[in-house]
A and B are shown apart, each in its own frame.
Chain A
């Protein structure tokens, strides 16, 4: 009990301090007006709660406190963040680890400096009535997957369950919506916990006339199966990391990023509003759901937010090297060479954030219960 009240105390203190930081922003801006460095962060997709921590750090002035003017660049269908970073069009990029490692193998000089998502948010979802509960049940079923490198957790999970993904299941290329599952064209569909799964719960069940309920579906979570891979991470330019100024800037950038994510952990509704204000076309309840699910992927962070966990990293690399997709490709041909990841800058950032009173572990984090409305509006 004592420990818990202590953590609450810390959380309250950090909130209070975060509040102070916000209040101080205008003065910081004026003093730092001459020495502000412009930093570009390439995101993977349009503004949505998946990037709430970065958006909050911009809106609440956390980057400015560090003397950085951070511009968030939205992604698009054909924009590959790690390529944008490697070609010098951005200073940092958010990208999934396996995809970024694949780009690294092809020569992109990038390093994972902040593993913001400690966990994977990829599910495989089936109707509960189908009786599919584990990857072993996929045998003989139609299995939807997105391809384009999004499929390897699924393939590793099926391989682990003793299935041959090329023979034992029918693979179906899936769109980025859940229509195919709802129309039963496929038996089990790929879904992100924070996006496509929510879309299912925002759709009307023709049998009841009401929205689908979580108990209508069964979820295969790759985290519990043990075939999950690391996802959203902050990547930096490897060769620039030899430069002292870029090193310092990276620490500052990560410090403010930690603050942003801690802020969104503690005030998900406010962060949701910031995302909506950025012009997201996804509805409010959908964004709050996404915020909450994304928080679950970040928090709690036992050793400190953003640190690469070696075991999780090795699992990601092993799956990347050994799991073959239906055409026999692996993500990686050999182990990543050189500086694929480093915790040096994140550790410094954590120390700095801690010193500023930010709770960098979020051990007291408790996810909310979000009720989705029709269409997520």
Chain B
């Protein structure tokens, strides 16, 4: 309940800030020493929120479906791609973190590359993935365009999981590990009973980051490769009409923002059953 009130409050504050700035801000924008520090407040740059809301209800093109439907469908498409990317990325992150915590040599050899992987600019990566993946197929099922986008989402999502979980798996105190050893528990048992539960508080923030990263990866991947159907592509298509229909651009951005919130919400829901488990573990081990 508190959370819902908080979220609503946040929305209201945002709306007040937006409209408030529109009311008092300089329509030409504010520049300090020739550098623009505050954006223009005119209707072309910052349409009224109700204009954007109205635009959602109007048809996309004459005789077409209303914008909200188009945006909603696009968000659903991207949500699906994000989910695939998130699951694949999390799985890869899990495997990498486990391997790195098991073998020091793997950690030393791999971790720098894991970090390095995130410095590759997405715009350079996307066409590359689109290029080599075009020739792939799963038996009779050819590679689909959305899979390229999911790969990009997974590429961004695996990183926080790998790093966060590794940190978590290494978090048990020496006393805890020695206790397990005194029980003659093997590596797997220590992993399941001690390391993994201890890693949960590290895992969940990492998962939230991964969720956000997967959304960014999916949206940017769509923009980059021009993949049809999702909200990223819609942002690009609508932004071409920024000159004549500025509110339309914001409808797509609104969709992308809502998508991000939904993913963050779903990921934090994952936490609920597992974090209850965590308390018990804390009592037992620490």
Chain A proximity of B155: nearest CB distance (Å): 15
Q: Which residues of B contact A313 (CB under 8 A)?
A: none
Q: Which residues of B contact A282 (CB under 8 A)?
A: 237, 240-241
Chain A proximity of B120: nearest CB distance (Å): 13
Query: A74 touching B228 by the CB < 8 A rule?
Result: yes
Q: Please tell me the size bucket of the interface on B.
A: 20 to 34
Q: Which residues of B contact A284 (CB under 8 A)?
A: 61-62
Given contact pairs A183-B40, A204-B244, A281-B234, a sample of 11 additional A-B residue pairs in the complex whose CB atoms are under 8 Å apart: A75-B226, A79-B130, A176-B239, A176-B240, A179-B243, A200-B243, A202-B244, A283-B62, A375-B241, A376-B241, A377-B61
Partner of A78, one of B224, B234, B243, B245: B224
Query: A46 touching B243 by the CB < 8 A rule?
Result: no
Q: Which residues of A contact B242 (CB under 8 A)?
A: 175, 177, 179
Name 19 A/B residue pairs within 8 A (Cβ), A-sorted.
Answer: A46-B226, A46-B237, A76-B223, A76-B224, A76-B227, A77-B236, A78-B224, A78-B225, A79-B127, A79-B226, A80-B127, A84-B131, A89-B131, A177-B241, A177-B242, A179-B45, A282-B240, A373-B62, A377-B61
By beta carbon, the residue of chain A nearest B128 is A78
Query: B131 touching A377 by the CB < 8 A rule?
Result: no
Query: B237 touching A281 by the CB < 8 A rule?
Result: yes
Q: Which residues of B contact A177 (CB under 8 A)?
A: 239-243
Is A374 an interface position by the 8 A CB rule? Answer: yes
- Give me the interface of A with B, judged by CB distance under 8 Å: 45-46, 74-80, 83-84, 87, 89, 175-179, 182-183, 195-196, 199-200, 202-204, 279, 281-284, 373-377
Mark each residue of chain B from 48 to 69: 1 if its CB lies under 8 Å from any CB of chain A, else 0: 0000000000001110000000
Query: B62 touching A78 by the CB < 8 A rule?
Result: no
Mark each residue of chain B from 243 to 285: 1 if its CB lies under 8 Å from any CB of chain A, else 0: 1110010000000000000000000000000000000000000
Is B17 an interface position by the 8 A CB rule? Answer: no
A178, B245: Cα distance in complex, Å: 12
Is B185 an interface position by the 8 A CB rule? Answer: no
A177, B244: Cα distance in complex, Å: 9
Q: Which residues of B contact A45 (CB under 8 A)?
A: 226
Is B80 an interface position by the 8 A CB rule? Answer: no
Chain B proximity of A319: nearest CB distance (Å): 27
Chain B proximity of A210: nearest CB distance (Å): 13
